Structure 1
Amino acid sequence: MLGAWPVPVSYGGERACYLPQIDRIQLPERAAVRSAAGFYATWAHEVIHSTGHASRLQRDLSGRFGSKAYAREELVAELGSVLLGDQLEIGSAIENHAAYLDHWVELLKETPQLLYQVLGEVRRAVELVLLQRGDKQGTPAETDPTCQ
């Protein structure tokens, strides 16, 4: 199902990321990730990031690490990846999700109502991905050096 998402995926390198400038997902090779659940949770996380592209749901993807905009988008992507994993019945690495989300709790403590806004964005992102169930994705592209 994740392969049906129309954003091209490149494999290789050590990091996973979404590159909004070129609308591409970068993932490490499957063998570089400890578990299948971890690999698919990471892929789902990056797919959710890609739903924020200007051609889709138009979320603010410009935040730099440490900024509130970055933290908000990370909350959307991580919560979305949990929900998407559940909806697609591909499982998730729940311990990893919990540890990752712990980093962003400060943002929620500062602005508790943000959780409702973020959950609305998560719902829209997951629904958009699930609409793609019948589509096909092209062949993976070469590794993008900006994620390494």
Structure 2
Amino acid sequence: MIAIPLMAAYNDPINWYRTAFHELGHATGAKHRLDREFDRFGTQKYAREELVAEIAAAYLCAAHNIEPTVRHADYIGSWLEVLKGDNKAIFSAASMASKASDWILDQATAAPKALAA
């Protein structure tokens, strides 16, 4: 289950979608979905997962013609640390984010078909 504030809590409704897409990106990492490693805040694994979720959100925004935005400074700082330590991290994160956004879009496409059956 993903819990995010109601759309009314956002100054601009489009930010609700950006947040929802980011959280959906995280949800794809569950063991029974795409099985990514999660860890606690402040770790390299946590920073990598945040990068994956944010890139997945950007892909999902693009798929829905929503202009993506960059998240909070804390996230960016942790991403920079990961990127400085691993010159392939951005490619790895982009690949995982692509798989995550594809998984989400596939589920969204399959849901109406399942309901119609």
Structure 2 portions without partners, runs of 5+: 113-117
Equivalent-residue separation in structure 2 for 1:84 and 1:59 (angstroms): 19
Kept in 2, the 8 Å contact 1:57–1:125? The answer is: yes
Structure 1 portions without partners, runs of 5+: 1-23, 137-148
- Measured at CA, do residues 112 and 67 of structure 1 come closer, stay the same or move farther in structure 2, by a change above 3 Å? same
The structure that is helix-richer by fraction is: 2
The structure that is strand-richer by fraction is: 1
Question: 1:145: which partner in 2?
Answer: none
Question: 2:43: which partner in 1?
Answer: 67
Tell me by how many angstroms 1:132 deviates: 1.7
Tell me by how many angstroms 1:64 deviates: 0.7
Question: 2:21: which partner in 1?
Answer: 44
2:84 maps to 1:109: yes
Equivalent-residue separation in structure 2 for 1:100 and 1:86 (angstroms): 24
Equivalent-residue separation in structure 1 for 2:67 and 2:12 (angstroms): 10
2:94 maps to 1:119: yes
Q: RCO higher in 1 or 2 (8 Å CA, sep ≥ 6)? A: 1
Equivalent-residue separation in structure 2 for 1:92 and 1:73 (angstroms): 21
Identity %: 32
Equivalent-residue separation in structure 1 for 2:19 and 2:74 (angstroms): 11
The amino acid of 1:131's aligned partner reads D
- The root-mean-square deviation of aligned C-alpha atoms, in Å, is 1.7
Q: Name the count of aligned residue pairs.
A: 110
TM-score if structure 1 supplies the norm length? 0.68
Q: Which runs of 4+ in 1 moved over 2 A?
A: 96-103
